[in-house]
Amino acid sequence: MSVILGGAVKLYQYLNDDIADPRTQEWFLMRSPWAGLAILSIYLMSVLKWLPNFMSKRPAYELRSIIVIYNIIQMFGCAYVFYQSMKLGWLSHYKLVCQPPDEEPHSVDYAWRVCYGYFVLKLMDLLDTVFFVLRKKQNQVSFLHVYHHFGMVAVSWGMVKWLPGNLRSKISLYLRKISMMIL
């Protein structure tokens, strides 16, 4: 048993400390996975259990103005992340061929900050589901919807933790931001 626990601790230290990008270690929610996992757990419990129970005997909330403001913020946030990733990526010195991430801690390459902005937008996306539940649109809270939002937060956290500024990160950002601006 102690061998298994020792191996788990070593794996955690390897993933969380050894191979993590040092530039992002002190950023909010990036030091360890526990705060992010707590947010995702609260999200799951809220949209699948707590909020539906809370809304069961209440009328649907009218959230049109809040949702309009939320959508405007999301649209501008997506456009900003897309523009910054293009400006700091392919519109400057990157090429369409594989290029390793910049390992310089104090580099002028700020693409890793754009990756963090993307992560923050994915956290904000969790509100989509909350709005569905508060408007009594529970039929829109499908397994696929919840899985998508949960997975996007987890994957974008990993992207910031281990691959900020990497070519794969940028391609993923470009494609997702274009589709999210359209939607």
Amino acid 108: pLDDT: 40
pLDDT at 59: 96
User: Does residue 65 or residue 101 have the better pLDDT?
Assistant: 65
What are the boundaries of each domain within the chain? 28-182
pLDDT in tens, 28-43: 998 889 999 999 999 9
Q: Is the dihedral of CA 131, 133, 137, 140 positive or negative?
A: positive
Catalytic residue among 93, 106, 148, 149: 148
Q: Who has greater pLDDT, 50 or 23?
A: 50
**For the segment 66-104, what is each residue's pLDDT rounded down to a tens digit?**
999 999 999 999 998 888 877 776 666 666 666 665 555
What is the per-residue pLDDT across 94-131, written as a single tens digit (0 to 9) for each? 666 666 655 554 444 566 778 888 999 999 999 999 99
Amino acid at residue number 116: Y
- With a threshold of 0.85, does the pTM exceed it? no
Looking at residue 163, its pLDDT comes to 76
pLDDT of residue 107: 46
Contacts of 75 (CB under 8 A, 6+ apart): 181
pLDDT per residue over 133-161, tens digit each? Answer: 999 999 999 999 999 999 999 999 988 88
Give the CA distances from residue 176 to residues 24, 35, 81, 111, 147, in Å, rounded to whole numbers and listed in that order.
Answer: 22, 25, 10, 16, 16
pLDDT of 25: 82
Q: Find the Cα–Cα–Cα–Cα dihedral 22, 117, 48, 53, rounded to 10°.
A: 120
Asked whether the beta carbons of 119 and 28 are under 8 A apart, the reply is: no
Question: What is the predicted pLDDT for the residue at 166?
Answer: 54
Q: How confident is the model at residue 23 (pLDDT cuts 50, 70, 90)?
A: confident
Structure confidence at residue 115 (pLDDT): 82
Instruction: Please name which of 47, 40, 45 lies closest in space to residue 137, comparing C-alpha atoms.
Output: 47
Distance from C-alpha of 177 to C-alpha of 183, rounded to nearest angstrom: 10
- Is 148 one of the catalytic residues? yes
Q: Tokens 């403001």 appear where? A: 69
3-state secondary structure of 1: coil
